[in-house]
Amino acid sequence: MSAIPVIIDTDPGLGKPGSDIDDGLAIALALRSPELEVLALTIVNGNVDAITGTDVARRLRERLGHPDLPIVLGATEPLVRDMAPVRALFDAVLKDDEQIEDPSEDRLGPTTDEDAAAYLVRAAAERPGEIVVIAIGPMTNLALAIQADAAFATNVGELVLMAGSATTYAQNITVVGDFNAYVDPEALDIVLRSGAKITMVGLDQTSRVMLTRADANLMRASSDEFSQWAADCTDAWINFLGRAFPSRPEHKDACFLHDPLVIAAVINRNLCTWQDANVQAETVSELARGLVVANRGLALEPAGPKNAVVAVDTDVDGFRRLFLERIGATD
Ligand code: BDR
Ligand code: CA
């Protein structure tokens, strides 16, 4: 079978202190998987600002041996929401000793002047029905692409989203919201209403897959240079999470592999169990900001057109085998 052409829309922070490492690990998994042909990384504001995310992506492509991979700069802010309080939350916990990359180095920019929305629109139009966009950050770039050209929704083969939660509340940045939906709910709403073929892997599934300090030790012991470096980043991120969320026992020795599960689910659809759903994002209530409701036909749920396929179960062991083997945690 030929490789699936994918664009990864991402907010990567791997290597930057106090930034979630999971996008970077997801990118590594994708670039090391022959089932996927990664056409580009489009960068969006999220875990880090988009300029920093672009710099992270440029360094990652070198570390992972893909020096020609296009890195495309996208949205620097959510469509309407203020990013400053989110940024302040993470900055408050940062310590200087967790710097992995040298902060004095010049930041590397995008490899093209074209912005992410324009790139997405053009790439999808050039290969109608073929390209899968895997969106593992806030959905701002996708919404801007749809706003720029509604045909993007039908030209793109599929949008695979890391957002929301299908079977229970998401519960990471708030009690009901996952980070990606919370940062830009209006963008997610536009995507969900676009008519595109949508697949959603939510936080209810991605919170079941963890990377532990023991996994990091395996990565460090391998002969794979990327894996060794990523092990140090993993320890730094787990240390950070322990400080940021002292009441959450899962962060004492582990972090979540949210975004890698979404990549893995495209590599092998059988890693998740899927159901059709009507998925909607809350955009009015500040109290419920980030809430995503996936109506799957349970009793008394309001009927609505099915606009997405959602993950409702995960083969956790199967995912771990795939991830650890490709990331280099086994020699
Ligand atoms: C999502 O937000 C970020 O913390 C992760 O990178 C993931 O994409 C989970 O809510
Ligand atoms: Ca992400």
pLDDT for the residue 325: 96
Q: How far is the CA of 189 from the centre of ligand 1 (A)?
A: 17
Q: What is the mean pLDDT of the chain?
A: 93
Provide the H-helix boundaries in the chain.
22-31, 50-63, 84-91, 116-126, 140-148, 152-155, 179-183, 185-192, 203-206, 213-221, 225-244, 258-267, 316-327
The Cα–Cα gap between 226 and 57 comes to 14
Residues flanking ligand 1, CB < 6 Å:
20, 22-23, 47, 136-137, 162, 172, 178-180, 203, 258-259
The Cα–Cα gap between 70 and 262 comes to 21
pLDDT for the residue 66: 98
Q: How far is the CA of 273 from the centre of ligand 2 (A)?
A: 22
User: What tokens does 228 get?
Assistant: 């060794």
pLDDT for the residue 33: 98
Shortest-distance ligand to the CA of residue 18: 1
What is the number of structural domains in the chain? 1
Q: How far is the CA of 253 from the centre of ligand 1 (A)?
A: 18
CATH code where residue 194 lies = 3.90.245.10
pLDDT for the residue 17: 83
CA 300 to chain centre: 32
The Cα–Cα gap between 234 and 229 comes to 9
Q: How confident is the model at residue 64 (pLDDT cuts 50, 70, 90)?
A: very high
Nearest partner of 30 among 1, 8, 56, judged by Cα: 8
Q: How far apart are the first and last CA of the chain?
A: 27
159-214 pLDDT, tens digit per residue, is 999 999 999 988 888 888 999 999 999 999 999 999 999 999 999 999 999 999 99
Residue 163 CB coordination number (10 Å)? 33
296-317 pLDDT, tens digit per residue, is 987 677 778 999 999 999 999 9
For residue 258, the enclosing domain spans 4-327
For ligand 1, atom 3, the nearest C-alpha belongs to 179
At residue 244, does pLDDT exceed 90? no
For ligand 1, atom 9, the nearest C-alpha belongs to 179
pLDDT for the residue 147: 98
130-164 pLDDT, tens digit per residue, is 999 999 999 999 999 999 999 999 999 999 999 99
Q: Residue 32 burial by CB count (10 A; 0-12/13-18/19+): exposed, middle or buried?
A: middle
Half-sphere exposure of 270 (CA within 13 A, CB side): 3
The residues annotated with a catalytic role in the active site are 258
Q: How far is the CA of 30 from the centre of ligand 2 (A)?
A: 14
Q: How far is the CA of 10 from the centre of ligand 1 (A)?
A: 10
Minimum mean pLDDT range among 38-42, 93-97, 248-252, 261-265: 93-97
Give the mean pLDDT of 99-119: 82
Nearest partner of 329 among 244, 224, 236, 172, judged by Cα: 224
Q: How confident is the model at residue 104 (pLDDT cuts 50, 70, 90)?
A: low
Q: How confident is the model at residue 102 (pLDDT cuts 50, 70, 90)?
A: low
252-303 pLDDT, tens digit per residue, is 899 999 999 999 999 999 999 999 999 999 999 999 999 999 999 876 777 7
Provide the H-helix boundaries in 32-139.
50-63, 84-91, 116-126
More confident residue, 98 or 206: 206
Q: Are 279 and 164 in contact (CB under 8 A)?
A: yes
pLDDT for the residue 53: 96
**7 - beta bridge partners?**
40, 133
